[in-house]
Amino acid sequence: MRIRNRKVNVRLVINYSILTILFIYIFIHSMLAIVDQLTRATTHLEVQAQIGCNGRQEFCTRKYSNITHIATHDAPFIGVLPMENQNVDITTQLDAGIRFLQAQTHRNAFGKLSLCHTSCLMKDAGLVKDYFKIIKYWLDKHPQKVITILLTNGDHLNITEFEKPFQQSGIVPYAYVPHADANQWTLDSWPTLGQLIANNTRLVAFVDYNANQSKIPYLLNEFSYFWETPYNTLDPAFAQCMLDRPASLKAKPASDPAVRQRMYIMNHFLDTKVLGMVVPNRRDAKQTNAWRGRGSIGEQAERCGGMYGKAPAAVLVDYFDRGQVFKAQNGLNGFAL
């Protein structure tokens, strides 16, 4: 009996020790993040100029598939905790010039589609319909802007569960619907930003899993139009540009038409491990989001461009307000810096 009790006590001590270390890490991480926020309190994000198409006259005649956008990874998860990937809210992101938002979705405890980080127990940023309402309201106020949203269907739900939030938000009239089947779609099939604006189809929406465009024609299958590089990267040098998803393309060479005729998303957010858990690396965000230098957006994009003959269509980043993301976006689109 004493031996059993001793074993139980040892387990309790170990468990409490792990929880204590985890609590200390979260506390220190949060304090450092708060200090980081306070040191930047006097630095305001500039509001993008209301000119041209998405802020550039040149974009009006460029095809959607020939533009590189900085994209906010886990855009709705805002704050200083380890499961939060951005510092400012959706409206501020859009005002600053972000035109591509990515978000995870899960069904919450009440059966509603919600913006949850891995699990709704870990982080619930609110209902998907309310997220759409924020974007819809912003589009109402900015008639020369085109927004892309990428949804992660974390629970692999039937795609019809997404229809209600879209309809309830009132955003559907803005949604772009391709004129041809994805199997016949090429990079040249995309309209220009000017055409999207003229037709007032200024929302391009994608989902990663279980898309069915015969049921929801405006919610596009991400992997019919994009492929992605690896995510959860722990290497600060980002010394790779492999095709990671979809699995159906992984074995194909870079020259294969199925690879060449899709846009691609360059996952450029750095993670780190703490007690075996992968969390965003806030500390190094400034260099990760730099235009030039080791592990920068520009360095990885050059590597990818050399392999695939084109720039990424989207560069997914954490803490977009750290570093030089818009300088990188201008550079990748061929504009003078």
CA dihedral of residues 80, 134, 42, 320 (deg, nearest 10): 60
217: Cα within 13 Å, side-chain hemisphere: 9
- Alpha-carbon distance of 300 to 292, in angstroms, equals 10
Q: Can 73 be counted among the known catalytic residues? A: yes
- For residues 203 and 187, is the Cβ–Cβ distance under 8 A? no
**Among 29, 69, 106, 117, the one annotated catalytic:** 117
C-alpha 291 chain-centroid distance: 18
- Alpha-carbon distance of 296 to 285, in angstroms, equals 10
H/E stretch holding 271: strand 271-274
Q: Can 156 be counted among the known catalytic residues? A: no
Cβ neighbours of 318 (radius 10 Å): 23
Find all residues with CB under 8 Å of 113, minimum gap 6, and list them.
105, 106, 107, 127, 128, 129, 157, 161, 162, 164, 165
**Among 73, 106, 156, 179, the one annotated catalytic:** 73
H/E stretch holding 265: strand 263-267
Token code pair at residue 252: 């194909």
Catalytic residue numbers, as ranges: 73, 117
